[in-house]
């Protein structure tokens, strides 16, 4: 956590306070994350301090967003879109969709585009 996890704006500690949403300073451009705001609120409770509040927020973050299991490949399907390079140095972009509908892009330079095209046309390499 940064030192913005306080009751007051870190840029101008005298007179600047957080807005009602606790994420923006009332008087300058300073911002803090929601986690920092919650840590600051918890740390102000009787019996609490910043380390205890940070431990609870870390535990909550781990529950809310468990680490991705990156041993499972992300499956994407071709979206029938291919954007060819506009100039000689541009990449070819193959539009895809994930299974939950998010867009994905396969980016191919000229060498990889040609190699992939040949493999798709002739899988046995004849
Ligand atoms: Zn400020």
Tens of pLDDT, residue by residue over 16-65, are: 888 877 788 888 888 888 888 899 889 989 999 999 999 999 999 888 87
How far does the centroid of ligand 1 lie from the alpha carbon of residue 31, in Å? 8
Instruction: Tell me how far the alpha carbon of residue 78 lies from the centroid of ligand 1, in angstroms.
Output: 48
- Residue 57: predicted pLDDT: 93
Q: How far is the CA of 75 from the centre of ligand 1 (A)?
A: 45
Nearby residues of 50 by Cβ (< 8 Å), 6 or more positions away: 1, 5, 39, 43
> What's the gap in Å between 9 CA and the centre of ligand 1?
5
Torsion region of 101: left, alpha or beta (phi above 0 gives left; psi -120 to 50 gives alpha): left
pTM for the model stands at 0.46
Q: Could you tell me the distance, in angstroms and rounded to a whole number, from the CA of residue 33 to the centre of ligand 1?
A: 14
Strands (DSSP E) along the chain, which ranges?
Answer: 76-83, 92-98, 103-108
Q: Would you state the pLDDT for residue 88?
A: 64
State in Å: Cα 28 to ligand 1 middle.
4
Residue 97 pLDDT: 94
- The per-residue pLDDT for 113 is 92
Taking the centre of ligand 1 as the mean of its atom positions, its distance from the CA of residue 36, in whole angstroms, is: 15
Note whether 9 and 24 are within 8 A (CB). no
89-122 pLDDT, tens per residue? 689 999 999 988 999 999 999 899 999 999 999 9
Position 6 scores a pLDDT of: 53
Q: pLDDT at position 71, please? A: 80
Q: How far is the CA of 46 from the centre of ligand 1 (A)?
A: 26
- The residue among 36, 46, 45 whose CA lies nearest residue 6 is 36
């Amino acid at each position: 956590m940064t030192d913005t996890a306080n009751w007051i704006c870190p840029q101008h500690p005298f007179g600047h306070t957080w807005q009602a949403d606790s994420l923006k300073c009332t008087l300058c451009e300073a911002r803090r994350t929601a986690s920092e705001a919650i840590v600051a609120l918890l740390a102000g409770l009787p019996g609490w301090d910043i380390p205890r509040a940070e431990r609870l927020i870390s535990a909550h973050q781990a529950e809310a967003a468990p680490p991705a299991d990156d041993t499972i490949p992300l499956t994407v399907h071709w979206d029938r879109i291919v954007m060819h390079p506009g100039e000689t140095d541009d990449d070819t972009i193959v539009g895809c969709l994930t299974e939950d509908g998010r867009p994905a892009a396969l980016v191919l330079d000229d060498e990889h585009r040609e190699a992939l095209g040949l493999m798709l046309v002739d899988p046995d390499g004849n």
